[in-house]
């Protein structure tokens, strides 16, 4: 699949079933995704793969953390069952320490992380897998952070729900929206001093 086709046929897939990439396939695709632009090559991120029993435990954690009505609590419990693989994206910013490595502002590290995630999503799609990046209230939850073993300086950026689309459709190319009003061309002018 060429890059333009991958970009124009990708969609967030909400109903995902087996198979998902196994650990080796995930690592293979991530190695490629990690070549995305990354100022200072800091790799300021890590992934925690959640499968099988892990999804049940994470669902229990979501339910325990939810203080709303019981039927909604049960919904929280089943959230991680919506895909066979939940790849947890953790932002691990390298502190601004000139003595350490090149000082790269945190926003640039977040941009690099986002670029890597975007590449991974496209690579998954090109391999026939579907995914959707989900965030929501539990990215802020201390219980969830603790359950997943996050360190205080790390930030939970959500989960890439990954699997095979339940109802595979013929790939349809999107018609890109007109974004020309997001582009301007700099015209140097002689400004009065």
Ligand X SMILES: Cc1cc2nc3c(=O)[nH]c(=O)nc-3n(C[C@H](O)[C@H](O)[C@H](O)COP(=O)(O)O)c2cc1C
Whichever of 105 and 136 has its CB closer to ligand X, that residue is 136
For residues 5 to 24, the per-residue mask of contacts with ligand X, x marking binding by CB under 6 A and - elsewhere, is: ------xx------------
Stretch that binds ligand X, among 41-49, 75-83, 126-134, 185-193 (CB under 6 A): 126-134
Size of the site for ligand X (CB under 6 A): 8
Residues 158-177 that bind ligand X (CB under 6 A): 158
Give the whole-angstrom CA distance, residue 33 versus residue 55. 24
Whichever of 77 and 113 has its CB closer to ligand X, that residue is 113
47 touches ligand X (CB under 6 A): no
Q: Which of 58, 76, 85, 132 binds ligand X (CB under 6 A)?
A: 132
Q: Which of 19, 37, 128, 136 binds ligand X (CB under 6 A)?
A: 136
CB 75 within 8 A of CB 157: no
- Identify each DSSP E strand in 61-118 by its residue range: 85-91
Between helices 106-126 and 23-33, what is the axis angle to 10°?
A: 130
Q: Is 156 helix (H, G, I), strand (E, B) or coil?
A: strand
Give the whole-angstrom CA distance, residue 17 versus residue 163. 5
Provide long-range contacts, Cβ within 8 A and 24+ apart, for 147-151.
Answer: 147/57, 147/58, 147/61, 148/48, 148/58, 148/88, 148/90, 149/48, 150/90, 151/92
As measured in angstroms, the least distance from the Cβ of 32 to ligand X is 19
In this chain, which residue has its C-beta nearest to ligand X? Answer: 12
Q: Which of 55, 125, 134, 155 binds ligand X (CB under 6 A)?
A: 134
Contact residues for ligand X, defined by CB under 6 A? 11-12, 132-136, 158
């Amino acid at each position: 699949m060429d890059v333009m086709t991958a970009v124009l046929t990708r969609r967030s897939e909400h109903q995902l079933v087996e198979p998902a990439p196994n650990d080796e396939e995930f690592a293979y695709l991530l190695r490629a995704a990690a070549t995305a632009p990354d100022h200072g090559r800091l790799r300021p991120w890590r992934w925690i793969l959640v499968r099988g029993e892990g999804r049940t435990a994470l669902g229990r954690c979501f339910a325990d953390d939810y203080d709303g009505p019981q039927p909604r609590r049960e919904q929280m419990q089943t959230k991680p069952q919506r895909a066979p693989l939940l790849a947890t994206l953790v932002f691990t910013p390298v502190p601004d320490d000139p003595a350490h490595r090149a000082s790269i502002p945190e926003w640039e590290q977040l941009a690099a992380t986002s670029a890597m995630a975007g590449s991974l999503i496209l690579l998954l799609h090109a391999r026939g897998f579907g995914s959707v990046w989900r965030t929501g209230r539990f990215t802020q939850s201390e219980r969830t952070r603790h359950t997943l073993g996050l360190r205080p300086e790390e930030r939970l950026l959500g989960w890439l729900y990954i699997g095979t689309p339940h109802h595979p459709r013929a790939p349809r190319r999107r018609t890109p929206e007109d974004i020309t009003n997001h582009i301007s061309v700099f015209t140097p002018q002689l400004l009065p001093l």
